[in-house]
Amino acid sequence: MNKLLLNVSELTTYYKTRLNEKIYAVDRVTFALESGKIIGIAGESGCGKSTLALSLMGFYFPPLYYNSGSILINDIDIMKIKYASLRKLFLGKEIAYIPQSAMNALNPTKKIFKFIRDIMKGHDHKLPTSKIKDIAINRFRTLNLPERVLYSFPNELSGGMKQRVVIAISTILNPKILIADEPTSALDVSSQRIVLDLLKDLMNKNFVQSIIFITHELPILKSISTDIMIMYAGEIIEKGKVNDVIFDPIHPYSKALMGAIIVPEYGMKNQKLTAIQGTPPNLKNKLTGCRFAKRCKYVIPECTKTDIQDKYFKTRPYKCIFDYTKLKEINKYEK
């Protein structure tokens, strides 16, 4: 039986600009995460996926602000507790984060081990350093990371190594949820492979129980995740099992997105690559209705009249004015 680890509902967060405008980069996002799952979040750049990753940590600082919604971990809404207990009981311990640019994620004047020590002491100040050392050495060995790395400064490490070290550090406390924000985007292909294997290894060894993986590269999602959420202009517009979403996307945007990407898979050879016309809407403006309407081939006037509610096809939610069968019909007709 899969355990429910994270339950996010109606989470809305915004950026404040210099001119005091609010940009809702994450808008009423709702989803749940169970143990054993690796959820991939995909979307164009600027769609809010990295902001969602940050927002899930329950810790906000300017220019990002919390607006509304709840984030439940262990049935506790982390938006309702004090920062001190959030830090001590959740950050790094229940929910951990791997930043987009591991290159600069480590304090350049601290040796790796001392950084690990600061993290572990931050959650249990009574833990003796010798114990921490044992844990760190053990963990690095298990993950096939050289021990000397612990005594190095960050810029003595290569890019790929730094990324792996950051992953090892983030998971040192065995968090149940790991949020990885484009951990492979700055790496070459072979380092990407190593990092993905490391993440899988963490799941297999039960060091983490679930992963939220953010990327704009669908092929990577295909190889690592169990589920996919598609994000567009701050909203989750579709969610489902990885193969369902990739090979049978429901939402016109998902469809267009899949059409713009090559997935090395049987039967994809005949597919033509098509670019999506237009640009995402400006989130500064208050938007009603479907946010993809302006770029959508199937748009009808009703699309922008009222907000679109989630529809379900079996267990798969999606946000479109048309239902599944209607969309299939239009699609067939088009071909």
Contacts with another protein, residue ranges (CB under 8 A): 18, 57, 59, 61-62, 87-88, 90-93, 96-97, 99, 101, 103-111, 115, 118-119, 122-123, 147-148, 151-153, 155-156, 166, 169-170
What is the enclosing helix (H) or strand (E) of 67? strand 64-73
Cβ-based nearer residue to another protein, 21 or 265: 21
Q: How far is the CB of 87 from another protein (least distance, A)?
A: 5
Task: Tell me the one-letter amino acid at 245.
Answer: V
Cβ-based nearer residue to another protein, 156 or 188: 156
**Cβ–Cβ under 8 Å, residues 39 and 213:** yes
Three-class SS of residue 40? strand
User: CA 18, CA 24: separation in Å to the nearest integer?
Assistant: 15
Cβ-based nearer residue to another protein, 122 or 219: 122
Cβ-based nearer residue to another protein, 111 or 200: 111
Task: Tell me the one-letter amino acid at 260.
Answer: A
Q: In this structure, what are the phi and psi dihedrals at residue 254, rounded to the nearest 5 degrees?
A: -55, -40
Cβ-based nearer residue to another protein, 28 or 87: 87
Cβ-based nearer residue to another protein, 82 or 335: 82
Cβ-based nearer residue to another protein, 155 or 288: 155
User: CA 173, CA 279: separation in Å to the nearest integer?
Assistant: 41
**Cβ–Cβ under 8 Å, residues 66 and 239:** no
Q: How far is the CB of 176 from another protein (least distance, A)?
A: 14
Q: How far is the CB of 66 from another protein (least distance, A)?
A: 15
Q: How far is the CB of 60 from another protein (least distance, A)?
A: 11
Q: How far is the CB of 122 from another protein (least distance, A)?
A: 5
Q: For 91, which DSSP code?
A: B
* Cis omega (within 30 of 0) for bond into 63: yes
Q: For 148, which DSSP code?
A: G
User: CA 203, CA 209: separation in Å to the nearest integer?
Assistant: 6
Task: Tell me the one-letter amino acid at 141.
Answer: R
Which two tokens mark 233?
């202009």
Q: How far is the CB of 103 from another protein (least distance, A)?
A: 8
Q: How far is the CB of 183 from another protein (least distance, A)?
A: 12
